[in-house]
Amino acid sequence: MKPIEFKGTNVIIAKDQPEYTPLPAYKVGDDKGTIVFCESLSIRERIKILFTGKLWCSFLTFNKPVPPSFFTVDKWVIFNKKIFKSYLERMKGDK
């Protein structure tokens, strides 16, 4: 997977940190610190997901609590404020 820039990108996370891959993102600017980023999959990765239906994730937490995360294949789900707000409210209730 490779992080990609997209319409709306307004920050590059880890831009000047050679130990990390720069991550183009959209920083929402809300009180939750929400960021959105997009990854492009290789043909091999697409085929593997097609057959396994699995996507593995790893976060560097630096021994802090794991932040709530949300993955989707539909950009509109994230940028539709009503749907995303509903998701965030459900996450808040799961504590």
- Asked whether the predicted pLDDT for residue 95 surpasses 60, the reply is no
Confidence tier at 92 by pLDDT (50, 70, 90) = low
How many domains does the chain contain in total? 1
Find the domain containing 42 and state its range: 2-93
pLDDT at 59: 87
Of residues 95, 70, 73, 94, the one with CA closest to residue 84? 70
pLDDT at 88: 65
| pTM to 2 decimal places | 0.74
Rg (CA), the chain: 15
Q: Could you read off the pLDDT of 23-81 as tens digits, one per residue?
A: 999 998 888 888 999 999 999 999 999 999 999 999 889 999 988 888 888 888 788 76
Q: Find how far residue 31's CA is from the centre of its chain.
A: 17
